[in-house]
Amino acid sequence: MEQNEVFNPPAEFSNSASIKSLDEYKRLYQAAADDKEKFWAEQAQAVHWFAPWSKVLDWSNPPFARWFIGGQTNVAYNCLDRHLTTWRRNKAAIIWEGENFEQRTLTYQELYRKVCKFANALKELGLKTGDRSIIYMPMIPEAAVAMLACARLGITHSVVFGGFSAEALKTRIQDLEAQIVITANSGLRRGKDVPLKQSVDEALKHCPTVKNVIVYKRQEIPTHMQSGRDHWWDDMTLDRPETCPAEQLDSEHPLYVLYTSGTTGKPKGVVHSTGGYLTQVLSTMKWVFDIRDDDVYWCTADIGWVTGHSYVVFGPLAAGATAMMYEGAPDWPKQDRFWRLIEKYRVTIFYTSPTAIRSFIRQGDQWPEGHDLSSLRLLGSVGEPINPAAWKWYHKVIGKERCPIVDTWWQTETGAIMISPIPGATPAKPGSATLPLPGVFPEILDDKGNKIEGAGKGFLVLTQPWPAMLRTLYKDPERFKENYFSRFPGIYFTGDAATRDNDGYIWVLGRVDDVINVAGHRLSTMEVESSLVRHKSVAEAAVVGAPHELKGQAIHAFVTLKSSEKESDILYDNLREWVAQEIGALARPEKIHFVAALPKTRSGKIMRRLLREIVTTKSVAGDTSTLEDYNVILQLSRQGKEEEEILGEKK
């Protein structure tokens, strides 16, 4: 990484920004360091509270934090109601375009009415504060309506990405013990129907807690509706009142549970609160995106991921912004769809993933250069570290060298952006997330837990609690402690490696555990392995991530077959499709390696680290002292080189 290249914020941007200089950032950061409780209490004034808190932070029982104790608020009220007494009531809250070019714009007043009607429909079905819902929808405004209606009533919701399979949906419903599923009869992706309701029906064969399903009619297609359980969205909301009081909820009320991959194969239910979460998400909307009343802000994330929660729905709407939503693929029907949308809606802030940026580079500069992108004033990156070459392309071709780039680091578990440039203040270095935001206190530790002073490389940790942090893992507090606070007692372990340069800039290097980051989406190696082993032909499987020029990482599966089975091209294709059907298309392995044996320790643990070395370098240079049979590695290394030669000949 070229750590000496520095891009200063454009003077024109800094002059009108809310934080105008590095000195101003440093003063804000120091204020938080001197008294973090006072600092966060000041930030919380931007949130509407029905009842004040008696104490800012309770950290008496770490790692279980409580913020703004005794305070009462409601996220939906903050996103909608408080704007209705201002000029924003007729401002566009959501601008939406479907993949089929359908268009809708909802003002804050219109969105409020839709949310209230849907909340009243939920109440009609007997749902109340403390109940739990699953939201499994395409990227349409009704997805945001469902999230806000649940938040309004205090129904803890869990959004499941619409690309996940029935099996993945089932496990999440079962763990949450949800009473209702909110879905659509289909979605649209690259011109094809995504049969969401079919997946729901399949999942619910094994989910007795679900008593009701509400179905939005996205497409005029035949849809199975089970009498007594399934209800059409329009029928449920047709005659409902357009007002519904927002429940006054405790600051620590669980707003949502979002399932993320874990190293055990069972998804982890990350629990986020209400008051602390909203305080930090709203603060970061202002710091990182320098949000203004005339902005058209577009975060391209799906609502099934945490970015969609914090920076498509809750953050922008709480800030009174105009948020854009797009349903479909970035290259449908042509590779210029994103650029057409930016030109058409005069988007000013564009926040997307390095995976998308790399795919844009591959498609060619002619696509963005064929459109007027002059409305853009700020670019953002999220999901994984962005490589310097992609950063510079983004800056030059999309931003025309006048738009700052906010390269943001954060996680499902952190709830809000933690490390990022402040666009009017922070000189950027391509590939670096730069400096921590105010109220965020990272350190880099060595493998013994010693703090690395100055420049160095090690494990990225967070040493102090923050308002938007996960509160626990759903129904599994012991796993919460084990996963995040056991490696370095009392300190949050991010699971990422990082370096810090001589200027204090942080460069996140990626995961150090057995989780693969495919196109910004974290997938457990164990979850994919479990799927493969369920196939009748497979005896054993090990899955690792390999570098991929577009996705960041791609899934490579090492598979040993049962003695009665033989490898073939047909079986190769069958196994890839098997995983896609069981987990979702994003989990489809890039490559299957049929092998005679897997490298294991003497205790029988598969040494995935060695497999990662093989798919990355075609050799093994790391420690093999605990390896049971070194011949296995020799064979795999030889096989890897042979496969590379074959692929080279084919090219």
> pLDDT digit string (tens) for 607-649?
787 888 888 877 676 555 445 566 777 777 676 666 555 445 4
Q: Is the preceding omega at residue 436 within 30 degrees of 0, hence cis?
A: no
Same domain, 522 and 495: no
| CATH code, domain carrying 469 | 3.40.50.12780
Q: Could you tell me how far CA 464 lies from the centroid of its own chain?
A: 22
Q: Is the preceding omega at residue 63 within 30 degrees of 0, hence cis?
A: yes
Nearest to 131 by CA among 150, 106, 148: 150
pLDDT value at residue 634? 74
Burial class of residue 646 in the structure, from the number of CB atoms within 10 Å of its CB (0-12 exposed, 13-18 middle, 19+ buried): exposed
Is the residue at 84 inside a domain?
Answer: no
Q: What percent of the chain has pLDDT over 90?
A: 75
Same domain, 406 and 329: yes
Same domain, 457 and 524: no
The dihedral built from the CA positions of residue 291, 295, 300 and 301, taken in this order, carries a sign that is positive
Average pLDDT, the chain: 92
Is the residue at 494 inside a domain?
Answer: yes
Same domain, 175 and 282: no
Whether the per-residue pLDDT at 651 is higher than 50: the answer is no
Least confidently predicted of 81-85, 114-118, 326-330, 529-533: 529-533
Count of the separate structural domains present in the chain: 3
Is the residue at 87 inside a domain?
Answer: no
Same domain, 30 and 117: no
Higher confidence at residue 402 or residue 531?
A: 402
Contact 314, 301 (CB under 8 A): no
pLDDT value at residue 164? 86
Map residue 55 onto helix, strand or coil.
Answer: strand
Where is the domain boundary, 511, 527, 547?
511
Question: For the residues 443-452, what does the mean pLDDT come to?
Answer: 95
pLDDT value at residue 455? 95
Same domain, 349 and 479: yes
Using only C-alpha atoms, the chain has a radius of gyration, in whole angstroms, of 24
What range does the domain containing 220 cover?
A: 101-245
Same domain, 494 and 524: no
| CATH code, domain carrying 561 | 3.30.300.30
Question: For the residues 293-314, what does the mean pLDDT come to?
Answer: 96
| CATH code, domain carrying 108 | 3.40.50.980
Compute the distance between CA of residue 163 and CA of residue 160 in angstroms, rounded to an integer: 8
Quick one: tokens of 585?
Answer: 């298309």
Residues 525, 157, 321: CA angle, nearest 5 degrees: 100
**Confidence grade of residue 119 (pLDDT, cut at 50, 70, 90):** very high
Nearest to 405 by CA among 397, 341, 413, 517: 397
Same domain, 126 and 235: yes
Task: Decide the pairing of beta strands 92-97 and 212-216.
Answer: unpaired
Whether the per-residue pLDDT at 75 is higher than 80: the answer is yes
Is the residue at 82 inside a domain?
Answer: no
Quick one: tokens of 254?
Answer: 């669980």
Compute the distance between CA of residue 13 and CA of residue 376 in angstroms, rounded to an integer: 12
Least confidently predicted of 257-266, 322-331, 624-633: 624-633
Where is the domain boundary, 461, 479, 511?
511
Q: What would the pLDDT profile of 221-257 be if each residue is shown by its tens digit? A: 999 999 999 999 999 999 999 999 999 999 999 999 9
Same domain, 354 and 481: yes
pLDDT value at residue 3? 58
pLDDT value at residue 49? 98
Q: What would the pLDDT profile of 511-524 be if each residue is shown by its tens digit? A: 777 678 888 777 76
Same domain, 46 and 111: no
Torsion of CA 381, 349, 278, 97, to 10 degrees: -100
Burial class of residue 16 in the structure, from the number of CB atoms within 10 Å of its CB (0-12 exposed, 13-18 middle, 19+ buried): exposed
Map residue 258 onto helix, strand or coil.
Answer: strand
Q: What pTM value is reported for the model?
A: 0.86
Same domain, 105 and 68: no
Q: What would the pLDDT profile of 337-362 be if each residue is shown by its tens digit? A: 999 999 999 999 999 998 788 888 88
Is the residue at 135 inside a domain?
Answer: yes
Same domain, 349 and 486: yes
Residue appearing with tokens 């190293």: 263
Is the residue at 117 inside a domain?
Answer: yes
